[in-house]
Amino acid sequence: MTENVYVVSAAMIPFGKHRTSSYVGLAVSPLIDALQSAGVQKSDVDAVYVGHAYGGMMTGQRITKEIGLGTVPTVNIDNACSGGATALHEAWMAIGQGLIDVAVVIGVEKLTQFGGGTLPLSPEDREVKQGIVMPAVYAMRATRYLHDTEATVEDLALVSVKARRHGALNPFAQFRKEVTVEEVLAARSIADPLTLLMCCPTGDGAAVIVLASERARNRLGTPRGMRVAASVLHSGQVAEGYRDMTKPEITYESAHDAYAQAGIGPGELDMIETHDAFSIAELVYYEALGLTEKQSAVALLRDGRTTFGGDVVVNPSGGLLAKGHPVGASGVAQVAEAFWQLTGQAGARQVTDARWALTHVTGGGTAGLDHGACTIHIFEAA
């Protein structure tokens, strides 16, 4: 990349069950708020990138037309849970290559349209036809992880306890009540060994960020923000035979590339928003993101090294487990959290002196792949 790219504003609605709002109703307010807080007029915007999975045709244009933000390219991006972060990646590429100066990135999803239950997956997929659902994928990952390591089901519960404790401090979180290990274990089973409280809730959400080149940032005079130090998007690689489900290669490889691009290591990070769709994911991702050696994640969790006061705060927002996971919106919401943390706007959940942040979101259950997509971003306060 030849140009530095900055996030200059973020806006978001609280994630939750917003049954009376459409995709447009979810996204228009944060769109206006993100533009206004950046001091960006709609005539300043060069392109719009919209991540969603279930919004239907022209989701982005339906949103932007409400404020007359037309003419410029609008790109609709479905990459399952990575859709929002993929939208950011595309915007970063366009600005970084000097093609455009200002881009709006929208992540939006309305899961209450499905009336509950697991996410609808593509009925064309071989394993989906056989009945696979996302909780089953992660439950099998958990079963193998508990078999291979000293981790216990109580540790899986502890991930949820931490997420809820963080989420209780976050006005944008869907769940704002703390839970105990006993409550998590006593919740109804979803896919053994995962209980309901070890699974992220479905819900609705929208988050918007504005990206600018250094040139535009100076012209707009935006006071605070963060530099995109790395933006990496990978797709899953097929395995016809053995795959170690506790070693998600797509995240290992994406993280490796992201650290190389940013020129830092995991030790520099002050906060991480990781894809904790199910509690086992957080443990596996401590290892994949290089916070610790393989099979040793549980020590980090038990010793409190990934919460406030620890080495690095993982999911200060409450993560997907507490904040909620409206799939196409989640990747942008993670970046909004990083923005507020790195600009000192995170209130009660502020990570002290946060300078470096990483966001990570994988997406998609597809037969033969670890995941369909993985997006990792690293940001530096600037």
Partner 1 sequence: MTVQPEAQISAPIADLESDSLLGDFPEGPRLVGTLCAQCGQTMIGTRVACSTCVSRDVSRIALPATGVLYSFTRLHVGGTDVRPIGYVDLDDGVRTLADLREDGAPLQPDVRVALGVDGDGWFFAPAADD
Residue 157 in tokens: 């519960």
**CA angle in degrees (0–180, nearest 5) for 30-46-85:** 55
Cβ neighbours around 195 below 10 Å, total: 21
Residue 57 vs 348, nearer CB to partner 1: 348
User: Counting contacts by CB under 8 A, is residue 25 touching partner 1?
Assistant: yes
- To partner 1, the closest distance from the beta carbon of 335 in angstroms equals 13
**Helix, strand, coil fractions of the chain, as percent rounded to 5:** 40, 20, 40
Among the listed ranges 24-32, 85-93, 173-181, 320-328, the one in contact with partner 1 (CB under 8 A) is 24-32
Among 12, 80, 156, 271, binds partner 1 (CB under 8 A): 12
In the complex, minimum distance from the CB of residue 223 to partner 1, in angstroms, rounded to a whole number: 10
Query: Per CB under 8 A, does 66 bind partner 1?
Result: yes
Residue among 2, 57, 68, 309 that touches partner 1 (CB under 8 A):
68
Single residue of 5, 11, 87, 220 touching partner 1 by CB under 8 A: 11
Nearer to partner 1, 112 or 235 (CB): 112
Q: Interface residues for partner 1 in 345-374 (CB under 8 A)? A: 345-347, 350, 353-355
Alpha helix (H) residue ranges in 202-263: 214-220, 249-262
User: Hey, how many other C-beta atoms are within 10 angstroms of the C-beta on 237?
Assistant: 12
Is residue 81 annotated as a catalytic residue, yes or no?
yes
Q: Is the dihedral of CA 142, 145, 147, 152 positive or negative?
A: negative
> Quick one: which of 142, 95, 134, 114 has its CA closest to 54?
114
How many residues interact with partner 1 (rule CB under 8 A)? 42
* For partner 1, the closer CB: 285 or 379: 379
Restricting to residues 152-181, name those near partner 1 by CB under 8 A: 171-172
* Minimum distance from residue 5 beta carbon to partner 1 (Å): 21
Segment contacting partner 1 by CB under 8 A, of 26-34, 186-194, 244-252, 261-269: 26-34
Identify residue 350 by its one-letter amino acid code: Q
CB of residue 352 vs partner 1: minimum separation in angstroms?
Answer: 8
Task: Rank residues 232 and 332 by Cβ distance to partner 1 and give the closer one.
Answer: 332
Classify residue 300 by burial, with Cβ atoms within 10 Å: 0-12, 13-18, 19+. Answer: buried
Residue 347: CB minimum distance to partner 1, A: 4
In the complex, the smallest distance separating the C-beta of residue 44 from partner 1, rounded to whole angstroms, is: 12
Alpha helices in the chain (DSSP H): 23-38, 59-64, 83-96, 126-129, 134-148, 153-167, 181-186, 214-220, 249-262, 279-288, 297-302, 319-323, 327-342
Q: Based on the shown chain and the rule CB under 8 A, indicate whether residue 340 belongs to the binding site for partner 1.
A: yes
Question: Out of 5, 7, 8, 10, which residue is the one contacting partner 1 (CB under 8 A)?
Answer: 10
Catalytic residue among 81, 199, 200, 374: 81
Cis? peptide before 223, omega within 30° of 0: no
Residue with tokens 């990792």: 376
Beta-carbon contacts of 273 under 8 Å, excluding residues fewer than 6 positions away, are 314, 315, 316, 317, 319, 334, 335, 337, 338, 357, 358, 359, 360
Query: What values do phi and psi take at 360, rounded to 5?
Result: -145, 125
Q: Is the dihedral of CA 303, 294, 355, 329 positive or negative?
A: negative
Nearest distance, CB of residue 192 and partner 1, angstroms: 36
| Structure letter (DSSP) for residue 82 | T
Q: Which of 41, 33, 42, 45 is nearest to 9 (CA)?
A: 33
**110/141 with CB nearer partner 1:** 110
Residue 37 found at the interface with partner 1 (CB under 8 A): yes
* Bridge pairing between strands 271-273 and 356-363: parallel
21 near partner 1, judged by CB under 8 A: yes
Cβ nearer to partner 1, comparing 229 with 301 = 229
Site for partner 1 in 222-241 (CB under 8 A): 224
Residues near partner 1, by CB under 8 A: 10-14, 18-22, 24-26, 28-30, 32-33, 35, 37, 42, 65-68, 171-172, 204, 206, 224, 336, 340, 343-347, 350, 353-355, 381
What positions carry a catalytic annotation?
A: 81
